Amino acid sequence: MEKTVNQRAWLLVLPVLVLVAFSSIIPMMTVVNYSFQDSFGENIFFWVGLEWYQELLRSERLWDALGRQLLFSFIILMIEIPLGILVALSMPKKGLSASVCLVLMSLPLLIPYNVVGTIWQVFGRADIGLLGRTLSDLGISYNYSQNAFDAWVTVIIMDVWHWTSLVALLAYAGLSSIPKAYYQAAMIDQASRWNVFRYIELPKMRGVLMIAILLRFMDSFMIYTEPFVLTGGGPGNATTFLSIDLVKMALGQFDLGPAAAFSLMYFLVILLISYVFYTVMITIDKDEAKQ
């Protein structure tokens, strides 16, 4: 029997297209338009061609911020992914303690970004903060507002504190979906704990871990509020990540043209990385379906 092809179902996608057009496509088109023009306000624009792109691509400012951003994302992924897996493996599998653990793990995720920044701003202060004061009393020099290394350490620990539980919860979900038969087979084979993790748990968690890596990478790559509240991008430009630099340019200096060009390049990098992750995830899903 010949299969019926009915393309009219595509019309059902129209409402989503309209929503996406107003929330993303039209603003994006406006940003593209701005990126080729200069403005002194009052909706008056002057065509400048590729000037903003040339200026930005040849300036150290963009590359420094991109370097800091990539370094930050790399460090937090290196910490949060293994730590999240470790936490998930240590969590109880059933009973009341499992529920309590899940609730506790969810708590940091419920705190708004600016509150997280404020908590750590106070926590790290050498005069009144628990962390800062304790370190000072121990004779350890620590000042996140004046020392770039201290600022970086604080921003990283803050992010790890805020988001490791997301990785742990995703890994826990992956672990919970492994059928008991796999563990029973491993027990019969007298597999070591490491081998159980390496050959059963890790492959079975691959899908959720890819999602965790994607989510954490994208979120860390776009981080703004927490470091802005904590350090304001300082000391100097030490913690000025891409989004902080972009906001300084767009709202602080009101350079709409360069900021628009900056946004588009930022967007393209995110789009590229998302596409790579998405493709990898789809490939993994297809491989798993074939098995």
Q: In this chain, which stretch among 40-48, 65-73, 150-158, 192-200 interacts with another protein, using CB under 8 A?
A: 40-48
Site string for another protein, 153-172 (x = CB under 8 A): --------------------
- CA dist 84 and 126 (Å) reads 30
* Residue in 64, 243, 235, 87 with CA at minimum distance from that of residue 153: 235
Which residue from 271, 285, 287, 288 is in contact with another protein, where contact means CB under 8 A? 271
Sole binder of another protein in the list 23, 54, 97, 134 (CB under 8 A): 54
How many Cβ atoms from other residues are within 10 Å of residue 217's Cβ?
A: 19
What length is written for the chain? 291
Could you tell me which of 63, 64, 34 has the C-alpha nearest to residue 51? Answer: 34
Should residue 268 be labelled a site residue for another protein when binding is judged by CB under 8 A?
yes
Phi/psi of residue 284, nearest 5 degrees: -60, -45
244: closest CA among 72, 90, 104? 72
Question: Quick check: 36 binds another protein (CB under 8 A)?
Answer: yes
The verdict on 265 binding another protein (CB under 8 A) reads: yes
Please tell me the chain's helix, strand, coil percentages from 3-state DSSP, rounded to the nearest 5: 75, 0, 20
38: DSSP letter: E
Nearer to another protein, 210 or 229 (CB): 210
**Count of positions on this chain that bind another protein (CB under 8 A):** 27
Give the binding range for another protein (CB under 8 A) out of 24-32, 101-109, 185-193, 215-223. 24-32
Sign of the alpha-carbon torsion through 271, 277, 107, 72: negative
Query: At 2, which amino acid appears?
Result: E
Using the rule CB under 8 A, is 34 a contact of another protein? yes
Let me know: does 279 contact 266? Beta carbons within 8 Å: no
* CB closer to another protein, 132 vs 258: 258
Please report whether residue 144 would count as binding another protein according to CB under 8 A: no
Of residues 265, 239, 273, 247, the one with CA closest to residue 75:
239
Minimum distance from residue 50 beta carbon to another protein (Å): 6
The verdict on 277 binding another protein (CB under 8 A) reads: no
Query: CB 32 → another protein: shortest distance, Å?
Result: 6
Piece in contact with another protein (CB under 8 A), picked from 65-73, 162-170, 238-246, 263-271: 263-271
* Residue 147 touches another protein, criterion: CB under 8 A: no
Select the residue interacting with another protein from 3, 286, 290, 291 (CB under 8 A). Answer: 286
CB atoms closer than 10 angstroms to residue 79: 17
Query: Please, what is the minimum distance in Å from the beta carbon of residue 47 to another protein?
Result: 6
CA distance 263 to 42: 22
Site residues for another protein per CB under 8 A:
7, 26, 29-30, 32-34, 36-37, 39, 43, 45, 47, 50, 53-54, 57-58, 265, 268, 271-272, 275, 279, 282-283, 286
